[in-house]
Amino acid sequence: MKLETRTQKLAYVGIFTALGVILGTISFPVGPTKVAPFQHFINVITGVLLGPWWASLTALFIGTLRMSLGVGTIFSIPGGIPGAFTVGLMYKIVKNDWAAFSEPLATVFIGGTLSSLLFGPLINIQKGVVWFWVAFAPSTLVGTTLGFLILKALRRMEVIE
The per-residue pLDDT string of the chain (161 residues; one tens digit each, 9 = 90 and over) reads: 566 788 999 999 999 999 999 998 887 777 777 778 899 999 999 999 999 999 999 999 999 998 899 888 887 888 889 999 999 999 999 999 999 999 999 999 999 888 888 877 766 777 778 888 888 888 899 999 999 999 999 999 999 88
- Whole-model pTM: value is 0.88
Domain ranges of the chain: 6-156
Contacts 24+ apart (CB under 8 A), 150-153: 150/41, 150/44, 150/45, 151/44, 151/45, 151/48, 151/97, 151/100, 152/97
What is the CATH number assigned to the segment(s) 6-156? 1.10.1760.20
